Amino acid sequence: MEMLEQHVREGRVSFHVPGHHNGTVTDDSLPTAFNKIMPYDLTELAHLDDLHHAEGIIQQGEEALGTLYQSKSKWLVNGSTVGNWSMLAATVKRGERVYVQRNSHKSVWNAIEWLGLEPILLTPELERGSGLPTVVSLRTVEAAVTQYPGGKALLLTSPTYYGDMADVRAISRFLQTLTIPLLVDEAHGAHLIHPNLPNRSAIFEGASAVVQSAHKTLPAFTMGAWIHYKEDINESRLFHALSSFQTSSPSYLIMASLDHARAYLENLSDRDWSLIQTSHLAFIMEMRRAGFTIKVGDDFTKMTVLTYPKNGLIFSRHLSSIGIDIELAAEDHVLFCLPFRELKTQEIHHWVKLIKNASQHVPFIDEDETIYPFPMTEPVSRLHLIKEDTHVVRLPFDEAIGRVAAETIIPYPPGIPWILKGETVTDEKIRVLKEWISLGRNLQANRHVMIKQIDVIVEEF
Ligand SMILES: Cc1ncc(COP(=O)(O)O)c(C=O)c1O
């Protein structure tokens, strides 16, 4: 950060990219805030180091990060997405087997498809009451390596979107006996470092590599993320992956914000930690007092309001209409990501009043609507392998039941596939899909899915 400020203060002349030349190519249409920030949007000049070959200020920033997380660490400028791709590429080779949590983010599934890996799916536990998918148990991990031996890595998501965390210590201990590296998509867990937390980041609990979206829970710019890794990760494969998958023009704004996020976390005193956690708890208690049913996972910064029997999708629209934007809404719940700072009592009272008002006019869920379900499968399963030349046919939804899907369909958010390419299309999956389409839920899918058609493979006998 200081180096960027010094560079700007010197009023240097830019005959290099980016094309705004330190903010000198501009006009009156640009908002003032953009004008102010442009000079800091620099490029890899000799004194500003190189992300892909760090030896100067970037290396110093990454080392400071590694000290904080007791690991080796690298900044990422393309989100946890690129971190997930790189962890997998560093540990599993084309055609090799990898164990993966079924409710993983689409970045994991995309990486598996493009890297040509063979995934063994681990079904997460379902939470009693809310029915939400949580984390993978040690029992399921043990079953997976017994039923499908030979996997080269195991990838978990912890914390989940809803703040649930796996027993990483037990799972990593078990995997160490088999020398299988544990990779953790911790996109939502960059803040979980304090030694007194009952559930800390997986990097302190025995994981081999952990990816965190600093931009999700810390004060970093969008896309700012980082990866921490231990000695058993092949560093040259990891670096090769990172420099292949990431841009060759990393944003200095993002990188400076990553260094700031690290410093923010590092400078928190025990008292700050305590104030943050107690204020989050106070918010949750105040919501409960106002009559809301709240699910809290292991991560105190996630607050899920269980809205059943009222409609969470409509609740979120009411909230938005009064200026409150939340992270995610589904039929029977809404998810709030709480700011990682002390929440003031007046704020809490103000917010709870607004949220209560917004909830008052939310209708009940239609009787025939499905509550956010999770596809029921065996605890451990595998996907059909779909090759480039696999024969595919497009069918109306109802005719596709019992066939193998040749495409992936993802409700967004949370970005966890509902149907995975290579999975069998079930009655339940089609019923829920039809309902989401009629409710206008945001789906990442091919256009024909919106007219209730899906590509499936033609089984050859
Ligand atoms: C669990 C999980 N992993 C990975 C990602 C991708 O993170 P990013 O947006 O930083 O690329 C997300 C984003 O929502 C996520 O929720």
3: pLDDT confidence band, cut at 50, 70 and 90? confident
pLDDT at 132: 87
Tell which one of 80, 164, 335, 442 to mutate to probe ligand 1, the residue whose CB is within 8 A of the most ligand atoms: 80
- The residues pairing with 133 across neighbouring beta strands, listed in sequence order, are 126
Q: What is the mean pLDDT of the chain?
A: 94
pLDDT band at 129 (very low <50, low <70, confident <90, very high): confident
The pLDDT, as a whole number, for residue 271 is 98
Which residue has 């690991």 as its token pair?
A: 71
Q: How remote is the CA of residue 113 from the centroid of ligand 1, in Å?
A: 17
**Which one, of 209, 217, 166, lies nearest residue 189 by Cα?**
217
Answer whether 407 contacts ligand 1 (Cβ < 6 A): no
Q: How far is the CA of 187 from the centre of ligand 1 (A)?
A: 5
* Overall average pLDDT of the 27-48 stretch: 91
**Region 60-78 average pLDDT:** 98
Q: What is the mean pLDDT of residues 108-122?
A: 96
Residues 6+ apart with CB under 8 A from 79: 107, 213, 215, 223, 224, 225
Structure tokens at 168: 């990483």
Please, which pLDDT band fits residue 361 given cuts at 50, 70 and 90? confident
82 lines ligand 1 (CB under 6 A): no
Cβ–Cβ under 8 Å, residues 211 and 225: yes
**Nearest residue to 309 (alpha-carbon basis) of 384, 366, 246, 235:** 366
- Going from the Cα of 391 to the center of ligand 1, the distance in angstroms, rounded, reads 32
What pLDDT is stored for residue 387 in this prediction? 81
Q: Is 79 in the pocket of ligand 1 (CB under 6 A)?
A: yes
Q: pLDDT exceeding 90 applies to what percent of the chain?
A: 84
User: Residue 375 above 90 pLDDT?
Assistant: no
Q: Tell me which CATH homologous superfamily contains domain 383-457.
A: Molybdopterin biosynthesis moea protein, domain 2 (3.90.105.10)
What's the gap in Å between 363 CA and the centre of ligand 1?
31
C-alpha dist (Å) from residue 138 to 173, 174, 202, 286, 401: 10, 8, 15, 35, 32
Check if CATH label 3.40.50.2300 holds for domain 49-266.
no
Amino acid at 216: K
pLDDT band at 444 (very low <50, low <70, confident <90, very high): very high
Least confident window among 44-48, 107-111, 226-230, 350-354: 44-48
Residue 76 has pLDDT above 70, yes or no: yes
| CA 111 – ligand 1 centroid, Å | 13
pLDDT in the model for residue 317 = 94
Q: Give 82 Cα–ligand 1 centroid separation in angstroms.
A: 10
- What value does the mean pLDDT take over residues 236-253? 97
What pairing do the DSSP bridges indicate for beta strands 453-457 and 209-212?
unpaired
User: What is the model's pLDDT at position 435?
Assistant: 87
Examine the pLDDT at 309 and tell me if it is beyond 70. Answer: yes
Interatomic CA distance for residues 406 and 261, integer angstroms: 41
Q: Residue 33: what pLDDT?
A: 93
Quick check: 28 pLDDT over 70? Answer: yes
Angle at 460 between CA 458 and CA 461, to 5 degrees: 145
| Ligand 1 geometric centre to CA of 393 (Å) | 32
Give the whole-number percent of the chain exceeding pLDDT 70: 97
Where do we find the tokens 């710019």? Answer: 221
Residue 371's pLDDT is what?
62
**Ligand 1 pocket, 225 CB below 6 A?**
yes
Centre of ligand 1 from the C-alpha of residue 153, in Å: 20
Whether residue 120 is predicted with pLDDT greater than 80 in this model: the reply is yes
Long-range contacts of 384-387 (CB under 8 A, 24+ apart): 384/422, 384/423, 384/424, 384/457, 385/118, 385/422, 386/421, 386/422, 386/457
- Ligand 1 pocket, 172 CB below 6 A? no
C-beta of 187 in contact with ligand 1 (< 6 A) = yes
**Mean pLDDT in residue range 63-89:** 98
Of all protein residues, the one whose alpha carbon is nearest to atom 10 of ligand 1 is: 79
Please check whether the domain covering 270-360 is classified as CATH 3.90.1150.150.
yes
Do the bridges between strand 328-330 and strand 302-306 make them parallel or antiparallel, or are there none, so unpaired? Answer: unpaired
Would the CB of 118 count as within 6 Å of ligand 1? no
- Domain-wise residue ranges, the chain: 2-35, 49-266, 270-360, 383-457
Q: CB of 105 closer than 6 A to ligand 1?
A: yes
Give the pLDDT score at 386: 83
Contacts of 385 (CB under 8 A, 6+ apart): 118, 422
